[in-house]
Chain A
Amino acid sequence: MIHTLSPRVVAVLLLPFAALLVVFFLLPLGLVAWNSLYDQGWTLKGYEQVATSGLIHRVLLNTIEISALATFTSLVLGYAIALHLAAKPPARRAPYLAMVMLPFWTSILVKSFAFTVVLGDAGIVNQLLGWVTGGSWHLEMMFNRFGVVVGMTNYLLPFMVLPIMASLLNQNRNLYLAAEIMGAGPMRIFLRITLPLSLPGVYAGVLMCMTLSMGMYITPALLGGRRDMMLANLVDFYTRQTLDWNVASAIAIVLLAMSGVLLWILARVQSDRAGTMA
């Protein structure tokens, strides 16, 4: 028998929560939608701009490209980390897990600043390179795509590691034993058992990282160059520089719709998995 509260108590308890979210979450989102369609009268001008402007197209392409690249590098590093973590006995996992969680808790500004110090023109990597090669080598690693992808991968990694680790830990150890007894090599075991069984975690991680990176603002602004502008930076540009709330809102709605689609797929993947496990 489940203890439930009376409807009146529930209503009272939920009231402040609902008030805060309606007034300071739904209303602001509604304002964005409204402004994307209204500029001294109803208009589709904002969306027309999104559909026709060369600048916006380029930025949209950048956003997808950078997000895909960062998600891919996160997947490669994240999968290896997840394998490493899952192979450790729980008691010895904590320090490694802490290395994954610390960046998750570190301010993105600290991480961005750290990368300017490490990757910059006079940064640590270039100092080291200069010292090793006698000053003949120098790499441009900031204010370009490389810098953005490095910074974003660093931000995304925990979101990739955790779901993959969860699905690796869920696998039945007896499967490995059986496969090994029947003579399967490690590569074969990995390809036929580990990898397929970890795919739900991989999908979840990839979709999560894609969603997060599409909306990134700080990393492209601080580590990217002019040509690495992403949609979020464009929203800021139209709001602050050209003061065109109409176009800014239209871009924001497009961004919202794109992450909505990704999250919808994520929810589908999750519920499929729940379905097959039940």
Chain B
Amino acid sequence: MMSYSMSRNASAQRLWSGIATAIAWIGYLFLVLPSLVIIPISFGGDDELRFPPRRLSLSLFDQFFSEPSWWQAAIKSLVVASATTVLALAVGLPGAYALARSRFRGRRLVELLSIAPMLVPIIVLGLGMYMHLAAMSLVDSLGGVVLAHAVVVLPFMMVSIGSGLRHVDPALEMVATLMGASPLRVFWEVVLPQIKPSVMVGVLFAFLISFDEVVVSYFITGPASTTLPVKMYSAIRWEVSPVLAAVSTLLTLFSLAVCLVIMRLQPPQPRAD
């Protein structure tokens, strides 16, 4: 009797965990397959996208690098993402440090403000930014895009650096200050070396988010400032050009590299606190 119910229990357990594992695998495949399937297609070189490709060729990549409207958009995106990252770091690093090492009234509010751009629907920010930049006649300028992107990526920068600072022992800074080091020197020689990995994570976040940002950019760019995502958006929307397969492959490999670097820098051990 006992052994009967035990074995029934065991086989029921196998069945249920089998079903759960199967659904999980459907989920994994659903997550990665669509982006990965583009890679072989991009090497097909046909004008018609085909899977599996009939022959191997680099002609789509050739088209990407020889068509100025494509590679110029990519260059603009690289420039914008670099400038955005520098600006967000210059603003976010001192900001995050000040928030982590101070107690004042309204600090919670400033903290909330620092992550607010991440919480607001991006389209609302896009519309507001468009009207704002239009009033300053900064629409269709790379400078405007950089300023807008800096706001979009700032929360990610602040959160990464902030979490690094939480793991730094303030006592060290105390000692350095007592021994006569200036605040700048304390930050540069005591704090920064300890939070380097989190700063790197923030930088990668900022760069990639800016490089991929499309909604706000779509509102505030024009012919002179078309970034790669804006160009891709109209290409998917209006023509579905095969070059997109090559662009997608390049971007997927880029994302994969960044994803692996971040997982190395900051083993994602999500905690509930």
Q: Which residues of A pack against B, CB within 8 Å? A: 1-7, 9-10, 12-14, 16-18, 20-21, 24-32, 35, 76-78, 80-81, 83-84, 90, 94, 96-118, 124, 127, 153-154, 157-158, 162-163, 165-167, 169-170, 185-187, 190, 200-201, 211, 214-215, 217-218, 221-222, 231-232, 235-236, 239, 245, 248-249, 252-253, 255-256, 259, 263, 273-274, 277
Contact = CB atoms under 8 A, between A and B. Distances in A.
B32 interface: yes
A21 B272 contact: no
B199 to A, nearest CB: 15
Interface stretch (B53-61, B64-72, B147-155): B147-155
Q: Sorted from nearest, which 10 A-B pairs have the closest CB atoms?
A: A28-B128, A215-B121, A17-B95, A84-B24, A13-B98, A80-B23, A114-B34, A3-B170, A13-B94, A77-B27
A115 to B, nearest CB: 6
Interface of B: 9, 12-13, 16-17, 20-21, 23-28, 30-35, 37-38, 41, 49, 51, 87, 90-92, 94-95, 97-99, 101-104, 110, 113-114, 116-117, 119-125, 127-132, 135, 147-148, 150-151, 154, 170-171, 173-174, 177, 183, 208, 212, 214-215, 219, 229, 232-233, 236-237, 240, 244-245, 247-248, 251-252, 255-256, 258-260, 262-263, 268-273
A218 B215 contact: yes
B219 A239 contact: yes
Contact of A99 (B32, B49, B113, B120): B32
B43 to A, nearest CB: 14
A3 B187 CA distance: 12
Nearest to A34: B131
A98 B256 CA distance: 9
Of residues B91, B119, B127, B131, which shows the largest number of chain A Cβ atoms within 10 Å of its Cβ?
A: B127
A231 B126 CA distance: 14
B258 A9 contact: no
Contact of B27 (A109, A157, A214): A157
Contacts of A232: 121, 123, 215
Contacts, number: 287
Contacts of B262: 101, 105
Given A99-B32, A118-B37, A24 B148 contact: yes
Contacts of A169: 270
B259 A101 contact: yes
Contacts of B97: 13
A45 to B, nearest CB: 17
B34 A109 contact: no
5 contacts: A21-B117, A24-B132, A154-B31, A157-B31, A256-B121
B121 A97 contact: no
A21 B91 CA distance: 10
A96 B92 CA distance: 32
Given A3-B177, A77-B27, A114-B38, A214 B121 contact: yes
A110 B42 CA distance: 12
A259 B120 contact: yes
B16 A186 contact: yes
Given A98-B263, A255-B123, A105 B101 contact: no
Contacts of B271: 166, 170
A109 to B, nearest CB: 5
A200 B103 CA distance: 30
